[in-house]
Structure 1
């Protein structure tokens, strides 16, 4: 057990393979705070995680050559690595101590009150909203979130309070542990924002995903909480498989309710106007509501939560304005699924109702680029005035997809004057799109 190894040494030398990912980089932050000496390997290092690791004093090794692998008491192997990797093969051949990141984190936070935020969409946003609520109440909450927010210096911290908020991903833990990451976290409160088919590289169908979510439900104690929106059919189907904890169906009586009829969030006899919140779109408001209710379950009144959310800094790349001038606006959004695309599109149309909107959407996830969503993917953006689809995977699903950024930009140059808002959606490095688009606007 890794717990025994950690307890054995006051200070361990820990090497993380795949350290530049948001989860592993966050884990490095927590390990450093606990007094361990941390180093890490990755294929390449890039901001903002490389800057965060540098500030922590983490030695960064580029590549996975066996000769570059430093000696360590423990190796933490990321889920992007598999058999055949030289470092992995050396660790196995030499019978060195190793574990997965989710397992290690789960063991470190077993004595905390864990709030796990799961679901296909909204995990990062909801996690940071909760962090902002707790922080506004003076609670030094611990967290590990797979994103960046201007409200916090880093994407993770150990914290000194009893609470730990974790973005709970359904992706697998490691090549030697194909269970979803969230199985390791043993939450007191489990948020399930929504469930849809995704990650076609590891799941065959929705039932595979529901099975993993049900494993997570089995780990929530009887005095714990499971929180979700009552209009999510797939979650209701999941609950039919059985649950053993307190269930909170948001929108039902006794919970916090979101009402678009009068533009308010309602709790008991109180109303909070959604116009006072800095977020756009139904999906983001649902994230705010679920964060408020979970905070209430842990002693923070909705009035205080709402006040904190009115000052929310949000999450980088969630409907973020990255360029603005009188005649042009460039918005960057982290979209990885047809539902997320359609929600962002609708939010943009509502917010920029009198403007012409051009979408540039990268099919960056395995599920999107390989065509698993079919025609529904392209229909998710039909309401935009025009859409450019970018697919760099080498497998074009439609003739109108661009397999080169240069080709897309060449065509965009002829049309860009016709639009007021450029909405970029990608779940990879969007700067490779946004920066040349901004340069193109400036050159006009």
Structure 2
């Protein structure tokens, strides 16, 4: 089958492209911005890419057009598809019908931690010899790719693994399907990591997101399992609307619990107060320890012994762009992190502060997500940045003034409309022993290498 993917350079749609290619389909695609690294990855797979959404692409004559949620009415190609009555389908629905059908789907949902927890879970299953397929919104360093089909289990190499791990996003499916992506996945095991207001461009309020989460809960079978964060009253409220599946909780006084935290960053895992083992790793922050509990619990539902899951996490290599060390220049350490919601910013800074103690942290922030561009979360920014010694914020492309929003933290914060001026200011401020934490859900103009070059 020939599929043509509209919006192919997004992480999710790029993952679908990779999986479709592995499955033997002919894959082509287009996007508004076809550029590395995603374009390079796709072209290396033999996937032909077209810049833009020109109507002439119908001459490719694919069997079906797979539509990403970046595509809107008015795009010439989409209008031509509709006018001609050509077959089209959303990315999540294509995935559900062509890959996830008859699979044991393990879905990880939540406002924060989806990518990391999905990566942990996929790695635990892989380390146990179960060869899961996965589609994750980042690149787990244990795998080096963001998506793949299920492989051959170690104990039964003649068969295909039944397991598929997916990052279950609550963002909408397509312009013609405003349900959250995750309602298409029909998981048997579901992790509900947390739930806060986000995606202000499509959700009116927290209640609207809770409704979508309950739609997900309604799809989970009675013999399945829900692994839910016991610290989240918003999730409790979702489950109180109706739940037909056994629930295991983590992070609270019962269920899966965090035990002692060791000096080397390791921590004990408890189940109903009983010691299960110790995860030995160097990942930072309590949020990652909670992610680990969720992954261990979900993996146990898929048949992985708790001790084996704990041992696997001791070999977990994290995800690119999650407190990723980009380099050290002139004694200054530069990190890259995907944090863009105030809660994620605060937890990321908390983890780094625990690691570096009294050494200075220079936080460099690009408010780039749709929610942040709207200014919905601006009042929470000063508190979220409290643990930083200096804050440098990009003001480019915003409809609000970050200098006004950051006034509560005084002269600790500076804002810049000019990218080069921001880079120069950070480099001028940094001194040996400092830690520069760059936070953005985009490429931020390649700021990490530019900083390292200036600092050298």
Structure 2-normalised TM-score? 0.91
Residue of structure 2 equivalent to 1:24: 13
1:437 aligns with 2:451: yes
CA offsets 1:293-319 (integer angstroms, 9 cap, x no match): 111111111111111111111100001
- Partners of 2:213 and 2:207 in 1: how far apart? 10
Contact between 2:336 and 2:438, CA under 8 Å: does it hold in 1?
yes
Pick from 332, 338, 352: which aligns with 2:336? 332
2:169 alignment partner, SS class = coil
More off after superposition, 173-182 vs 39-48: 39-48
1:255, 1:293 within 8 Å by CA — same for their partners in 2? no
Does residue 79 (structure 1) correspond to residue 38 (structure 2)? The answer is no
* Pairing 1:50–2:64 present: no
Q: Indicate the residue corresponding to 1:270 in structure 2.
A: 275
Matched residue SS, 1:194: coil
Q: Does 1:131 align with 2:136?
A: no
Query: CA shift at 1:277, angstroms?
Result: 1.5
Task: Tell me if the contact between 1:333 and 1:425 (Cα under 8 Å) persists in the aligned partners.
Answer: yes
Contact 1:278 1:311 in 2 (8 A): no
Q: Which deviates further from its counterpart, 260-269 or 132-141?
A: 260-269
2-structure distance, mates of 1:167, 1:265: 24
2:293 and 2:372 map into 1 onto residues whose CA distance is: 29
Contact 1:333 1:424 (C-alpha < 8 Å) held by counterparts = yes
Rate the CA distance shift 1:299–1:115 in 2: closer, same or farther, 3 A: same
* Aligned partner of 1:406 among 398, 404, 420: 420
Mean Cα deviation higher: 318-327 or 138-147: 318-327
CA contact (8 A) 2:108 2:192 kept: yes
Q: Please give the alpha-carbon distance, in whole angstroms, between the structure 1 residues aligned to 2:402 and 2:330.
A: 35
Change (3 A) 1:261 1:136: closer
- The aligned residue for residue 353 of structure 1 is 357
Aligned to 1:157: 148
**Once superposed, what is the RMSD of the aligned Cα atoms?**
1.7
Shift of 1:241: 1.0
How much has 1:260 moved relative to structure 2?
A: 4.7
Indicate the residue corresponding to 1:5 in structure 2.
none
Distance 2:445 2:246 in 1: 43
Q: Distance in 2 between matches of 1:47 and 1:134?
A: 31
**How many residue pairs end up in the alignment?**
430
2:83 to 89, 93, 98: 93
For 1:405 and 1:412, how far apart are their aligned partners in 2?
A: 11
Structure 1 gap ranges (5+): 1-11
In the alignment, is the contact (CA less than 8 A) between 1:180 and 1:212 conserved in 2? yes
User: 1 CA distance for matches of 2:454 and 2:400?
Assistant: 26
Kept in 2, the 8 Å contact 1:358–1:423? The answer is yes
Q: Deviations over 1:18-68 (max 9, x none)?
A: 111111111111111222111000112233322321222111111111123
| Farther off after superposition, 221-230 or 90-99 | 221-230
User: Equivalent residue for 1:33?
Assistant: 22
Secondary structure, aligned partner of 1:417: coil
Residue 319 (structure 2) aligned to one of 309, 315, 318? 315
TM-superposed CA distance for 1:375, in Å, is 1.9
Residue 226 of structure 2 is matched in structure 1 by 226
1:383: how far off? 1.7
Asked if 1 retains the 8 angstrom alpha-carbon contact of 2:191 and 2:226, the reply is yes
Q: What is the deviation of 1:374?
A: 3.2
Q: Is the 8 A contact 2:256 2:297 kept in 1?
A: yes
2:250 aligns with 250
- Alignment check: 8 A CA contact 2:109 2:169 kept: yes
Q: Give, in whole Å, the separation in 1 of the partners of 2:163 and 2:198.
A: 30
Alpha-carbon contact 1:264-1:272 (below 8 Å) kept: yes
Find the partner of 1:142 among 133, 140, 162.
133
> Which whole-Å CA distance do the structure 1 matches of 2:33 and 2:375 have between them?
28
Please give the alpha-carbon distance, in whole angstroms, between the structure 2 residues aligned to 1:173 and 1:66: 22
Q: CA deviation at 1:238?
A: 1.2
Report which stretch shifted further, 264-273 or 75-84.
264-273
Report the counterpart of residue 7 of structure 1 in structure 2: none
